[in-house]
Amino acid sequence: MAFYETQLRAALRLFLLSTFLALSGCASLSATDQQNVAGKTYVITGASSGFGRGVALRLAGMKANVVLAARRTAVLNEVASQAQVAGGTALVVTTDVSKPEDVSRLADAAVQRFGRIDVWINNAAVGAIGAFDTIPVEDHARVVDVNLKGVIYGSHAALRQFRKQGAGVLINIGSVESEVPLAYHASYSATKAAVLSLGRGLNEELRLAGLRGPIEVATVMPWATDTPFFEHAANYTGRTAREPAMDGPQKVVEYIVYTSLHPSEEVPTGWKARAAIWSHHLAPDLTEHVSANISHTSQMEHAPPVQPPTTGSLYQPMQGGTGVDGGVRARMEREDAERKKAESGQ
């Protein structure tokens, strides 16, 4: 891990602006922020694990109403119980975001229960890892159905409600890959780039309608993060799924909650995300080459072999991977230690 972190720092340092440090602030919730969350209603898709679960429980601890949406009803009920214990009020709405009728029902249920929606977080996402032409085309299509169409459906439902009530914050979870496409993540990167473009276009429409301010659209752009996403992703690499120099999920959770109170159009989550985006603005081809090389070494050379390809949770939810943290960093440390031991002949 230290090797990848060193490579990444050295490569990106070449391209950072002298003002980078002034732009690399972190998300920090004040006591007033926490008070302002109380009583607000948040709709959260992908709430059964990862960022969605983490955000739901963080908000519940600040007395928010959390509307929990995902395909895994039993897991959502578990999250709801934890949210209630933490001090929030929870509503479970089983939802497949690729189905517009499910998303419409989600919005209706939230308004019927709580009277309004203050923040809608489009977080649900899936991935397909591998060389583009080795992944079945239907799997690429499913990634688009969930990651792009699902965000469009959620954004549409949220904005219609926000216009009715005169205010609201829409948060779409993008990625550093919204700016820097990554080898072996082609369709995932494409959907995250589209999510960023969607947010930019929606903000311009709101500005032209005189609604920018009361209604805001933010795209949160995390660096590679240790969540169950990698366990859930379809995997056609023949190796365990991984990315180097991962962030912990709680960092991104804090950014998402902070953004719900202080929305900005684009929100990179920390120095690595900011560095990659600035680097891509200054030297796009070189940034993409460096990113691809690092990813290739980690995913296609250093990751150990696994069983045959899997579609992960693309079509049906998986029983495993229900936490906020995915345990990927710990697994990678074990795998890398075993690889180095084998290479040394010990």
> What amino acid positions are annotated as catalytic residues?
188
Contacting residues for 252 by C-beta, under 8 A, at least 6 apart: 51, 54, 220, 222, 225, 269
Distance (Å, rounded) from C-alpha 208 to C-alpha 162? 16
- Burial of residue 301 (CB within 10 Å: 0-12, 13-18, 19+) is exposed
Distance (Å, rounded) from C-alpha 16 to C-alpha 205? 32
Structure-block tokens of residue 156: 């549409």
Structure-block tokens of residue 26: 């972190």
B/e letters for 51-85, b = 16+ CB within 10 Å, e = fewer, are bbbbbbbbbbbbbbbbbbbbbbeebbebbbebbee
